[in-house]
Amino acid sequence: MLDIKFVRENKELVKENIKKKFQDEKLPLVDEVISLDQQIREYKAEGDLLRQERNNISSEIGQLMRDKKLEEAEEKKQKVSEINNKLTNIEASENELSIQLKEKMMVIPQMIDDSVPIGKDDSENVEVERFGEPIVPDYEIPYHADICEALSGLDKESAGRTSGNGFYYLMGDIARLHSAMLSYARDFMIDKGFTYCVPPFMIRSDVVSGVMSFSEMENMMYKIEGEDLYLIGTSEHSMIGKFKGQIVKEEQLPITLTSYSPCFRKEVGAHGLEERGLYRVHQFEKQEMVVLCKPEEAMDWYNKMWSYTVEFFRSLDIPVRTLECCSGDLADLKVKSCDVEAWSPRQQKYFEVGSCSTLGDAQARRLGIRAKGENGNYLVHTLNNTVLATPRGLIALLENNYQKDGSITIPKALQPYMGGKEKIEAK
């Protein structure tokens, strides 16, 4: 959410930003919020004058009472009563307009960084850099679900009976490999100096609206019926919410956290769920990184964070590339974002395994997260990035380590988490 003062002073800039995101239907909101803000300020000014008048009259009443001028005092009291009635009406109108203003302000997108490429959707995202040589072996790589089933590691049929489409059972060494990746991701980030956290897996609606836009919430979040609780779609939601309404000491910044959680998503939209595979499902697990920092340090942290994900996948011998998200592909709260994509030797193309974003002060403004510095309080900047989301990360590992005989070679970094096992073979 933008600062209303910024919108007021940079109306055309805000409109241009909306156009860059190809959300022209939101252009009228800029004039609407400026008009609402003007009305609110007029009500505030009128209210301040009335309060000053009431204070002056109250002082006069005290003197009149001391002078035994009771009739005049009663007239003044009547005047105070009239002012109070006016103030009640003004405050009610001001409150009503403030609610309208906030609702509209929360729909206006965050200002994107100047470096963000302009494009309508994810088809116009821009490749930045490749890491590792993408290899296509001289033998066929089966579909990942077939690899898992051949190794007795996947049962979607039973999950269909218990939970429906979009769920799965992982079994045996495949399940163990899945857990090994998460454990390694946890330790990888701890070694980078991040503090490990396991957050709540449900959050209240005021936290949800603080960390994401309404359209994202509607398409992603599962609501607990009869309670003000939502299942998290990513641990970023809980981790940023942890600081809701807090003032942190500047010397505590940057706050660097890495969190594990299961994630739950409706996956509403054009992509749909996969009937057989594990690429797009309702439930998965993730190791996340979250940073709260000074505004001037945000871009440095952004570049560090996506590079950590690249380093993580390269330590597993998985080729990856980074993809700069264009303006039309950015969620409304994001200033800048990039995806990390892993190489699929089966499809002979890259697919998304992680996403890194800097959100400026958008989440901090919505949730009231400030730092106390020498020159007063200021809004922190928040960033988040995927270390590992699996089973999507597991798919990349399986495809890039699949052998001609149907076995899976386990990368050295994961072998300590697999009891020293070097290979998974069909039994």
How many domains does one find in the chain?
2
Given a cut of 70, is residue 269 above it in pLDDT?
A: no
Given a cut of 60, is residue 255 above it in pLDDT?
A: yes
Q: Which of 23-37, 200-214, 238-252 has the lowest mean pLDDT?
A: 200-214
Quick one: average pLDDT of 176-196? 98
Do both 380 and 232 map to the same domain?
Answer: yes
Do both 214 and 356 map to the same domain?
Answer: yes
Do both 135 and 41 map to the same domain?
Answer: no
The token pair that represents 363 in the structure block: 């989440």
Q: Which residue has the higher pLDDT, 370 or 212?
A: 370
Q: Which of 17-26, 203-212, 388-397, 404-413 has the lowest mean pLDDT?
A: 203-212
In a domain, 333, yes or no: yes
pLDDT in tens, 277-323: 898 899 999 999 999 999 999 999 999 999 999 999 999 999 999 99
In a domain, 231, yes or no: yes
In a domain, 361, yes or no: yes
- Please provide the average confidence, as pLDDT, over all residues in the chain: 93
**Tally of CA atoms within 13 A in the half-sphere of 229 that contains its CB:** 8
Q: How far apart are alpha carbons 230 and 263 in whole angstroms?
A: 11
Do both 166 and 304 map to the same domain?
Answer: yes
Query: In which band, very low, low, confident or very high, does the pLDDT at 268 lie, cut at 50, 70 and 90?
Result: low
Do both 92 and 156 map to the same domain?
Answer: no
Query: CATH number, domain at 43?
Result: 1.10.287.40
Given a cut of 80, is residue 237 above it in pLDDT?
A: yes
Do both 95 and 214 map to the same domain?
Answer: no
Quick one: average pLDDT of 236-258? 96
Quick one: average pLDDT of 328-341? 96
The token pair that represents 355 in the structure block: 């996403």
Q: How far apart are alpha carbons 282 and 291 in whole angstroms?
A: 26
Do both 159 and 10 map to the same domain?
Answer: no
pLDDT in tens, 122-171: 999 999 999 999 999 999 999 999 999 999 999 999 999 999 988 999 99
In a domain, 116, yes or no: no
pLDDT of residue 214: 66
pLDDT in tens, 3-21: 999 999 999 999 999 999 9
Query: CATH number, domain at 189?
Result: 3.30.930.10
Question: What's the Cα-to-Cα distance from 151 to each of 279, 346, 396, 405, 426, rounded to whole Å?
Answer: 18, 18, 16, 12, 5
pLDDT of residue 274: 62
Quick one: average pLDDT of 389-394? 94
The share of the chain scoring above pLDDT 70, in percent, equals 98
Do both 100 and 144 map to the same domain?
Answer: no
* Residue-range definition of the domain harbouring residue 50: 4-105
Do both 418 and 391 map to the same domain?
Answer: yes
Q: Which of 130, 191, 180, 174 is nearest to 314 (CA)?
A: 130
Question: What's the Cα-to-Cα distance from 15 to each of 9, 40, 110, 281, rounded to whole Å?
Answer: 12, 22, 11, 37
Do both 190 and 41 map to the same domain?
Answer: no
Quick one: average pLDDT of 54-80? 82
Do both 281 and 405 map to the same domain?
Answer: yes
Do both 97 and 167 map to the same domain?
Answer: no
